Amino acid sequence: MRKSIILLASVLAIVFFASSVSAAVQYETVVTWGVNFRDQPTISGYKYRMIPKGERIHVIEKVNSGWLKIQVQDGTIGYISAKSKYTSSLSTRDKLVSTAKSYIGDFKYRWGAEPWTTNYQYTDCSAYIELVFRNHGMDLSRSSRTQSKEGVYVSRSNLSKGDLVFFDTNSDGTINHVGMYIGDNQFIHASPSFNGVGISSLSGFWSRTYVTARDVLR
């Protein structure tokens, strides 16, 4: 019985470790045509499965003109054809959205908190946005008010993925909240309403308290 418990604990630890590693990876490339996923960069390699169109993968490196070394979302590493018809890299804006979504469930909300000073347990709205952009080599200022002065103004009708959206949730004339637009009239943000990171629609309360938007990629 004791051996069974130890074995189960070991298996769970391995699964947890694998899922944690997998979650940290950004799956920046989209499969655009079904492609065989193999254990070696050769057509004689063992085929794990066929990766279907639409699945996102992480390209580790281009091995040679014929093969890509990749990681799929369960953590498995292998090889696929390097022919351009099989994959398409996401745009910078799509990568930002992908990174932002990857943090859902990772933090609890705490005003004034920063992930990098709380062992990645807590964040507030502006620190979360700063972290997302840091992952892509872009530096933003620390508060929602100062972030609202970066980049260039974007009208609400012309919002694009990756644009920052700002709010005055206290209706006192001062910007105090920020999120990132992800398309389809939705934005992602760290908020007390989720006690962490989540996705909201730019309607109702968030429409009434919306102030402005900035494109910090230009």
pLDDT for the residue numbered 5: 47
DSSP 131-162: HHHHTTT----SSHHHHTTSSEE--GGG--TT
Task: Tell me which residues are annotated as active site.
Answer: 125, 177, 189
The tokens describing 138, both together, are 């872009």
Contact predicate 115/126, CB 8 Å: no
Residue 213: helix, strand or coil by DSSP? strand
Q: What is the pTM of this model?
A: 0.67
pLDDT for the residue numbered 12: 45
DSSP 66-120: TEEEEE-TTS-EEEEE--GGGEEEPPHHHHHHHHHHHTTTT-EE-TT--GGGTTT
Cα distances from 105 to residues 52, 71, 73, 93, 121, in angstroms, run 27, 22, 17, 22, 10
Q: For tokens 């620390």, what's the residue?
A: 142
Residues of the chain with CATH 3.90.1720.10: 93-215
Contact predicate 68/79, CB 8 Å: yes
Element (H, E) at 196: strand 196-201
Q: Provide the H-helix boundaries in 25-70.
A: none
Sign of the torsion formed by the C-alpha atoms of 7, 13, 16 and 18: negative
pLDDT for the residue numbered 19: 44
Classify residue 215 by its DSSP letter.
E
pLDDT for the residue numbered 18: 44
Tell me the residue type at 97.
V
Residue-wise pLDDT tens for the chain (218 aa)?
A: 554 444 444 444 444 444 444 445 778 888 989 999 999 999 999 999 999 998 989 999 999 999 999 999 999 999 999 998 999 877 889 989 999 999 999 999 999 999 999 999 999 999 999 999 999 999 999 999 999 999 999 999 999 999 999 999 999 999 999 999 999 999 999 999 999 999 999 999 999 999 999 999 97
The tokens describing 29, both together, are 């490339």
**β pairing state of 186-191 and 196-201:** antiparallel
pLDDT for the residue numbered 50: 97
pLDDT for the residue numbered 8: 44
Q: Which residues pair with 152 in a beta bridge?
A: 215
What gap in Å lies between CA 22 and CA 177, rounded to an integer?
30
Residues of the chain with CATH 2.30.30.40: 2-90
Topology of the domain covering 2-90: SH3 type barrels. (2.30.30)
pLDDT for the residue numbered 14: 42
* CATH number given to 93-215: 3.90.1720.10
